[in-house]
């Protein structure tokens, strides 16, 4: 049984303007939400503090939990339900790092038992200092930046045979980033500026495949992070792992399409570029859809059945796989047309 007919010819490139408008709207909403909320809601990994996960044997009011916490000096803690309502599980967060000794756990359990009237189980206690949280936040940003940078070196070398040029650009950017870190420049601002400079350099150095790939990856990561801000989900180390996974998945999709474009440019070099791009996307469409559907089947299963611990991780992957598939077709490939327009001018 054929999933997609081999002679299918959907005019994806002809719809690029509609796709660009859609992408711009999604990016604007994502960035707008991040600005309004002052960035993503950082979890304990990045912000520091103490997290306690508790499970009651019977339903308990949040006010009763807060009342019990106030008796052990945790009255300013935030409490929210965790998982399904019938699980009677709650997450307790404090902005300050407290000593999580065995005696501390016993005191919290006793206080919650007395105030709630229900037996409580302390399932998890985590403590991260503010300096550790800041270090983790900076390292996470650098991890994503360097991942994007080294990806562009690979793309430039593989598709344009410009290993040396892309390597020089990468070394210069890494050196500049390291130099500015010595002057205590804000890390988020530094990474954003470095990515902007990278795109400008790729444009003037005519590294078109690398630019198409990195624009698509920035597009995917920004929208995913924006949705976390819109739905007020926590941003933790697990989400960084999900974002790096999304970068790899989206890049793999883009490379498949780029490989076919390169082959068809040699085979049908007399045809207009728009026709070659459409043909290449249609020829890889079956593989793209089947890969995305099987991946989504797994991550949706994790999202539904994986429990509260892995819920946000699975949500990030669902968004990333869907957006990554879309960007490979409607973002990365049409950028090559922008290059042709530039060369004509």
pLDDT digits (tens, 9 = 90+) for 110-132: 888 887 778 888 888 877 766 66
Would you state the pLDDT for residue 326?
Answer: 94
More confident residue, 42 or 184: 42
pLDDT at 225: 93
Cα-based distances in Å from 239 to 35, 226, 250, 310:
19, 13, 16, 10
| pTM for this prediction | 0.83
- pLDDT value at residue 26: 95
Backbone angles phi, psi at 80, to 5 degrees: -145, 150
- The dihedral sign for the CA sequence 178, 184, 188, 194: negative
Domains present along the chain, CATH in parentheses: 13-43+132-344 (1.20.1640.10), 49-128 (3.30.70.3400)
Alpha helices in the chain (DSSP H): 16-36, 44-47, 62-70, 102-116, 130-160, 163-181, 187-204, 208-230, 237-267, 273-283, 285-305, 308-327, 334-344
Bridge-based pairing of strands 41-42 and 234-235 is: parallel
Task: Give the Cα separation of 66 and 83 in Å (integer).
Answer: 19
CA distance 256 to 91: 43
Range among 132-141, 183-192, 203-212, 325-334 with highest mean pLDDT value? 325-334
Question: Is the pLDDT reported for residue 9 higher than 60?
Answer: yes
Kindly give the pairing relationship between strand 89-94 and strand 49-56.
antiparallel
Q: Which of 247, 214, 253 is nearest to 143 (CA)?
A: 247
pLDDT at 1 over 50: no
**What's the DSSP call for residue 333?**
T
Q: How far apart are CA 230 and CA 37, in angstroms?
A: 9
Q: pLDDT value at position 228?
A: 92
The number of beta carbons lying within 10 Å of the beta carbon of residue 136 is 19
Nearest-5° Cα angle at 37, 31 to 39:
65
Q: Is the pLDDT of residue 315 over 90?
A: yes
**pLDDT at residue 97, as a whole number:** 62
pLDDT class for 201, splitting at 50, 70, 90? confident
Phi and psi at residue 41, to the nearest 5°: -75, 105
Q: Kindly tell me if the per-residue pLDDT of 28 is higher than 90.
A: yes
Q: Quick check: 335 and 212 in contact, CB under 8 A?
A: yes
User: Is it the case that residue 99 has pLDDT exceeding 60?
Assistant: no
Joined tokens for residue 65: 């939990």
Tokens of 242: 């999900």
pLDDT > 90? residue 63: no
Checking if the pLDDT of 157 tops 90, the result is no
- Give the model's confidence band at 98: pLDDT under 50 very low, under 70 low, under 90 confident, else very high: low
**pLDDT tens string 221-277:** 999 999 999 998 888 888 988 998 999 898 888 989 999 998 998 888 888 888 999
């Amino acid at each position: 049984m054929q999933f997609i007919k081999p002679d299918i010819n959907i005019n994806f490139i002809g719809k690029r303007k509609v796709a660009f408008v859609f992408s711009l709207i999604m990016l604007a909403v994502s960035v707008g939400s991040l600005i309004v909320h002052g960035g993503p809601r950082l979890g304990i990994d990045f912000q520091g503090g103490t997290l306690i996960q508790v499970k009651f044997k019977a339903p308990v009011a949040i006010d009763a939990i807060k009342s019990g916490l106030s008796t052990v000096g945790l009255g300013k803690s935030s409490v929210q339900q965790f998982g399904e309502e019938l699980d009677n599980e709650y997450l307790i967060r404090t902005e300050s790092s407290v000593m999580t000794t065995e005696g501390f756990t016993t005191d919290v359990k006793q206080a919650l038992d007395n105030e709630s009237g229900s037996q409580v189980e302390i399932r998890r206690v985590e403590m991260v200092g503010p300096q550790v949280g800041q270090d983790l936040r900076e390292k996470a940003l650098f991890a994503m930046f360097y991942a994007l940078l080294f990806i562009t070196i690979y793309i430039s070398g593989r598709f344009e045979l410009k290993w040396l040029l892309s390597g020089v650009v990468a070394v210069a950017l890494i050196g500049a980033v390291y130099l500015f870190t010595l002057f205590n420049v804000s890390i988020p601002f530094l990474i954003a500026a470095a990515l902007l400079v990278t795109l400008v350099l790729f444009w003037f150095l005519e590294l078109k495949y690398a630019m198409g790939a990195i624009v698509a990856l920035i597009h995917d990561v920004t929208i995913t992070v924006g949705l976390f801000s819109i739905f007020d989900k926590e941003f933790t180390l697990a989400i960084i792992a999900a974002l790096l996974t999304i970068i790899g998945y989206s890049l793999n999709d883009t490379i498949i399409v780029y490989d076919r474009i390169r082959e068809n440019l040699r085979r049908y070099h007399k045809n207009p570029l728009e026709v070659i791009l459409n043909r290449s996307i249609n020829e890889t469409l079956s593989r793209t859809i089947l890969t995305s559907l099987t991946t989504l089947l797994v991550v949706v299963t994790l999202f539904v059945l994986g429990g509260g611990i892995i819920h946000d991780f699975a949500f990030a992957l669902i968004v990333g796989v869907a957006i990554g598939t879309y960007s490979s077709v409607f973002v990365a490939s049409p950028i090559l047309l922008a290059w042709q327009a530039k060369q004509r001018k």
